[in-house]
Structure 1
């Protein structure tokens, strides 16, 4: 089924399978950070002020966790389950900071399917370039009807 502008609806609950995965590789660039900071008016010096952050334990600017969350939620909206799905609950732990220009590997995996409730649990695991875990968690998603 197609909706306006040629966007195809994502997978319905009975079209998904436990163990189904999506692997993403994302590099955080200045343009992405500046867009986020401009849209949100977030002036936390940890995100952009190199002079400030050198005197912190981080030593260099970090990426706002809401940007990382946006990459994950976008992958759910685009791919698993895809367009028409809605996130209803999320529990993500940001285990390590992600730094500017860092490349992160994100794996989304369907962990549980509840057909009668039209609900899937998607496990999220992300690592940085040094293979350290940076994000771990689960999102509950309602696939399109």
Structure 2
């Protein structure tokens, strides 16, 4: 049996987006996600997993690394709006409150400006927990997927 790989479709091009357009992305943060993050980055801050240590801080309990919460914004951008193939060019983050393992985080994206000539879109987002409490406010300048040239055009571009 021959397996044929199917390409996933790319996200929407900048000229297919509209200011005011919105999308949401929801995901539960598991303890294993924090351990995977720690292993990948070597960020071994005890406030992430050491309950005794975290209890002695103003946080009171272990927290999810901020960059892991920020990664949810990127996942929302590349998964929902504009979608697969999008690249984040610039991002500003403001952490409003800590996230904890077991939290269900919802990121709400909104397109706030478009620059078709530069193939850029600016999105604002709010990520909140299951109680509706804001965890992260972000603004992201993204490069939506470009319109790709035909493979045949690309293959023969050096020939006259």
Q: How many residues align?
A: 142
What is residue 111 of structure 1 aligned with on the other side? 112
SS in 1 for 2:59: coil
What is residue 89 of structure 2 aligned with on the other side? 88
The range that moved more, 123-132 or 134-143, is 123-132
What is residue 143 of structure 1 aligned with on the other side? 144
Q: Per-residue deviation at 1:14?
A: 0.5
Q: Is the 8 A contact 2:78 2:86 kept in 1?
A: yes
Structure 1 segments unaligned to the other structure (5+ residues): none
TM-score when normalising by structure 2: 0.83
Question: Where does structure 1 differ by over 6 angstroms across 4 or more consecutive aligned residues?
Answer: none
1:60 maps to 2:61: yes
SS in 2 for 1:141: strand
How far apart in 2 are the matches of 1:5 and 1:68?
Answer: 31
- Correspondence 1:1-145 to 2 at 5 A: 5-145=6-146
Q: Per-residue deviation at 1:120?
A: 0.4
How far apart in 2 are the matches of 1:133 and 1:23?
Answer: 14
Q: Is the 8 A contact 2:72 2:107 kept in 1?
A: no
SS in 2 for 1:89: strand
How far apart in 2 are the matches of 1:128 and 1:108?
Answer: 15
- Once the two structures are superposed, what CA deviation does each residue of 1:68-103 show, in whole Å capped at 9, x if it has no partner? 111111221222111221111101101111112112
- Once the two structures are superposed, what CA deviation does each residue of 1:22-46 show, in whole Å capped at 9, x if it has no partner? 1122211112111111111211011
Structure of greater Rg: 2
Structure 2 segments unaligned to the other structure (5+ residues): 147-160
The RMSD of aligned alpha carbons is: 1.3
